[in-house]
Structures are given as structure tokens and as C-alpha cells.
Amino acid sequence: MPRKRDGVPEPGSSHSHAVSESGDVIPFQQAWLTAARKLGGLPVHTMAPEEWIPLRVQYTGESKAAARSAIGSDTRGLGLDHCSDDQRAFRALLALALFNGDVYTGPTARWNYSVVASYDPVMSPRWDQLVMVAERAPENVATRLLATVGAASRGVPGLRHEVSYTCHGQRSVCLRHLPTGALLTITGDPAGCRRGNRPSHVPRHPYLTLDNDLTAHERRALAAVPTISGEAATLLAGLVSRYNLVDRRGHWATSLSWDPLERPGVERRKEPEVIQQGAVRRLWGTGDSWEFRWTGYPEPRDLALALTHREAGVKSAGFSRHGDSYRVVLGTASLDLCDGKG
């Protein structure tokens, strides 16, 4: 007699079939996968690789061409966290810039990356680079992010202009991070094309280039960044990869500037203070312990769900709720997601 799991017969037993509305008999496993697909909890490892691309597009908003460039034969899951060690280290550092700003005056708030939220970029994380699709104004985004000659306090320390090019009629700017060697591409091309026409190593603006070594100011700025453990780096990098993610079932969204799902209950986060003065964001910690506290979008619950989601989350990450806060845990590392300035 076949054993049962929680009252459900084991696959292969005489009872391990479900009957559809049409009367056709559906194998238990197929019925389970169909239900999981509808509920947004599909175990990605059970899917054929060609199915990963359209599923990833539903969450990220990328074009199929961009998602295809990010998913290879050795990619794990949707590829949001599948990257080189150098990329992971850079994204963790980038998180400290993207998620700090406004009245917070910590070391990384002055890097000026928090302004990126107003451009609503689509992130296309790949193994060897992070592509940021900013269709409205990629050159403007680059101008805000990159340090220029004589402007020591702006930009992520060590980020340099490598090459600019045009692809599909859109401008792309490739940036290289000297300390990690990681590549960041800011582009107006939805396909996130890796090759373009008329490449130029001479930037339009007086950006620092690969010919410029780390400055004394940059070395001090990097020294002010706390130690980030390996598992904490995965969580912080995961924030960057999920910068503008939307649940395909419409249960959560992670945009920092608005609610893409336009849920009435979430609109309350656009309070007068946030509209007039901007959202306050502070991401800080050390080693295994980190805290992200902010006003405005998204809701802490949404971000916790995005980081731990079965299809689109960080593998093996889970969360627990503590009042209005959520704690995301990966191994020994934790990231507290808190509402308000603190």
C-alpha cells in the first residue's frame, strides 16, 4: 500500500491522479506543477531552460533579448544571483549607494546613487556584468553616477568610464570598477546589447577613465565601508538585482519610486513629507548583520517576499516578521527591513 504525504498519495499509486474539469486524467506531478505555476511558486529547477527566459521577463520587465543574454546553460534558476565573485562584491557595494540617501549623511550617501530611483531603471543582472536599462536618459544617469575630474565626492569610488557606444540607435555607457574589476553598463537599449557601433573610449563628459588610478579620496571612502560577510554580500547584491521587480501574480513589487501594481492600500506610502522632501533611505551594518530602514516605497513586506520568493528569490533565504519589520536570513547573515526613519 503506497504511503501518503500529509494525506496525499505518493506519485505512482493508484490514487495519484487528479481529474480535470473536462474529465481527463492528469498525472499528480503535472497537476501539482500546473497549480504551482498559477500560484507563482513554481520550482524553477523542474523547468526546461527555455522556459526560464519568459518567466524571468515577467518579474524583471526586461526584454526577451536581454533576459536571453543573461541565461546560459549553466545558469541557476532565473539568474538574478548567478554571477562572478567580483560582480557580487561590486553589487553589494553598489547597494550601499543605491539604498542610502536624502537626510542620511553616512559615507555612501554622498556617492549620489540614490537619485537613480527617479529614472525607474530595469536591472538586467548577468554573470559578468550588471546592465542597467534607463531608456529615458542613460547618459544623464551616468553623469550623476560617475566621478568627474575635480569632483571628488561624487560617484562610487573606483568606478571608471571604459567605453561608450551606440546600439539599436540607443546610447550605452560601460563602466569598470577598479577595485573589483566588475562591469556596469548603463544603456538606453532595451535589449541591453553587448556590442555596438562606433565605440569610443573618450567620454562625452570629463569622467574619470581607466587611465585614472584610485584617488586618495576614493581610498578613504572605500576604507569607511564596513566589512561585508559572504552571505551578507549575497543579500545586499540581491537587493540590487531586484531593484525594480514585480511579482507575476501581482502580490508584491520592489520599485523605490512608485507602486507598479497601483494598489490602493500602498498609495498611503506617498505621504506629503515624502513627496516634498523625498524618501529617506539608510542601509548600513557590518559583517553578518545589516539593516535597511526607509520611508516611501516599497513596503517592507514586499521586499522581504521578493528576496525569499520561491521563483525569484535568493536561494535558501527565508524571512520572519517582528512587528512592522521583517528579517531576511541567509545562513548566518541577516538583513532587517524596517519602515520609517528610525
How many angstroms from the chain centroid is the CA of residue 187? 16
Q: Give the pLDDT confidence of 195-216 residue by residue, as tens digits.
A: 667 788 888 888 899 999 998 8
- Dihedral over Cα of 73, 90, 81, 258: its sign: negative
pLDDT band at 39, cuts 50/70/90? low
**Region 278-287 average pLDDT:** 88
- Rounded to 5°, angle at Cα 101 from 97 and 104: 120
Mean pLDDT of the chain: 84
Using the predicted structure, report yes or no on whether residue 37 has a pLDDT greater than 90: no
Q: Give the pLDDT confidence of 96-153 residue by residue, as tens digits.
A: 988 987 655 566 656 657 678 888 899 999 999 999 999 988 988 888 788 777 665 5
Helix %, strand %, coil % for the chain, to 5? 30, 25, 45
- Rounded to 5°, angle at Cα 221 from 215 and 224: 145
pLDDT band at 43, cuts 50/70/90? low
Q: What percent of the chain has pLDDT over 70?
A: 79
Using the predicted structure, report yes or no on whether residue 283 has a pLDDT greater than 60: yes
Inter-residue contact 317 to 308 (CB < 8 Å):
yes
Task: Please tell me the least confidently modeled range out of 95-109, 171-185, 328-342.
Answer: 95-109
Q: Give the pLDDT confidence of 140-161 residue by residue, as tens digits.
A: 888 878 877 766 556 788 999 9
Using the predicted structure, report yes or no on whether residue 61 has a pLDDT greater than 70: yes
